[in-house]
Amino acid sequence: MKTIDALQVDGKRVFVRADLNVPLDGDTITDDGRIRAAVPTVRRLAEAGARVVVASHLGRPKGSPDPQFSLAPVAARLGELLGRDVAFAADTVGDQARATVDGLADGDVALLENLRFQAGETSKDDAERGAFADRLAALADLYVGDGFGAVHRKHASVYDLPARLPHAAGGLIATEVGVLKKLTENVARPYAVVLGGAKVSDKLGVIEHLLEKADRILIGGGMAYTFLKAQGHEVGGSLLQEDQIPAVQDYLKRADERGVEFVLPVDVLAATAFPDLKTKAPADPVAVPADAIPADLMGLDIGPESRKLYAAKLADAATVFWNGPMGVFEHPDFAEGTRAVAQGLLDGSAFTVVGGGDSAAAVRLLGFDENAFGHISTGGGASLEYLEGKTLPGLAALED
């Protein structure tokens, strides 16, 4: 795929599909990582004399305007990071959007309102989606795809719009794809994968693929309890996907046959109830064996012995991919498992990739230096689907 080096952007209206889907608490951005990741491409285009029209989704509005998902706070933060004013259009393809774009001079930057305020953005109907893409195309001369976190979606601004304009990949997408190739082609070994998060069902495809690629797979988070149950252990009130137990048992069997090491917690931190993430009130955690969680307790993090085990399993790795926290990292009582994994990545000499989503948020929340990791992805779901070997619509659309 072409990069922005192949485009003549001076004086041109350049539509940049970014991923500015950041968490908000009211109007307050609680993690600006994705905005900061978008800045280099936007800045480069502006400094080259482009009239930059940035667009993104935020949250899951239902195809109509919803103030809680407005990108207005993002426009302000983007301007701060760029060190220049960012004009904000309070609609996406309406009068304000057209007037805002028409008012841009060379080197100016504008941000359109949330793409998902328009039903055509996410429509499964090709004609409806295409009609919305036509309206977006009228706002620009060139297209730059740089929202890696959305490239696994067949959405108008990701998939249909590039076909309507001369297009190229932005710096972020080029970097993400280059990094992910290191996890799929001529991988340096041992190759260790750490998977966490709530649900096994979210990771089935990537586990299937990694059984052919990885040397060891470390499991944590809520999904660990389905693995423990599949081994015949009691998990108390812990998160459990009963319907996934047969699939997990099959994965464990196939991993054993292929010599892929599955590493599961040997102990967990448990409590009688899910912690209050707003007040952060003490939850009185107790460490219990992972194979004997009492009926009145729920596991909420890997325990101290598991932390040591996981660190040891990462110590000699040459490549590590990590996607998903080890527990409820947002609460201080259950953050140490996730902290131990992050520290384990830094203590070793491996090429490390943090696979976006909650893992990236945890790195920032727990105070780690992002630059100390090999790469922190901006797209959790997109990264996983790439590793599954799927064709990602947004990447396919950028190829000529």
Q: Is position 19 annotated in a ligand binding site?
A: yes
Q: Which of 199, 254, 364, 390 is catalytic?
A: 199
| Residue 211 CB contacts under 8 Å (≥ 6 apart), including other chains | 251, 254, 255, 258, 260
Q: Is 60 labeled as ligand-binding?
A: yes
356 annotated ligand binder: yes
In the residue annotation, 357 being an active-site residue is answered as: yes
Is 58 known as a binding-site position? yes
104, 51 Cβ separation under 8 angstroms: yes
Token pair for residue 388? 């599954």
Q: Is 17 annotated as a binding residue?
A: no
Residue 116 annotated as binding? Answer: yes
Q: Which entry of 220, 379, 381, 394 is annotated as an active-site residue?
A: 381
**How crowded is residue 395: how many other Cβ atoms within 10 Å of its Cβ?**
21
* Residue 132 DSSP label: H
What's the Cα-to-Cα distance from 329 to each of 170, 298, 332, 342, 343, rounded to whole Å?
32, 15, 7, 12, 14
Establish whether 20 is an annotated binding residue.
Answer: yes
Which residue among the candidates 33, 171, 357, 379 is catalytic per the annotation? 357
Q: Is 107 a catalytic residue?
A: no
84 is in an annotated binding site: no
Does the active-site annotation cover 348? no
**Is residue 136 part of an annotated ligand binding site?**
no
| Residue 369 phi, psi dihedral angles, 5° rounding | -80, 115
Q: Pick the catalytic residue: 13, 34, 307, 313?
A: 34
238 annotated as ligand-binding: no
H-type helices in the chain, by residue range? Answer: 33-47, 72-82, 95-102, 119-122, 126-137, 171-181, 204-210, 224-230, 245-258, 304-315, 336-347, 357-365, 380-387, 393-396
Q: Is 34 annotated as a binding residue?
A: yes
Closest Cα to residue 230, out of 210, 207, 213, 214? 207
> Is 34 a residue of the active site?
yes
Is 357 one of the annotated binding-site residues?
yes
Which residues define the annotated binding site for substrate? Answer: 19-21, 34, 57-60, 116, 153
Which residues define the annotated binding site for ATP? Answer: 203, 299, 330, 356-359
User: Which residues are the active-site residues?
Assistant: 34, 199, 357, 381
Which residues define the annotated binding site? Answer: 19-21, 34, 57-60, 116, 153, 203, 299, 330, 356-359
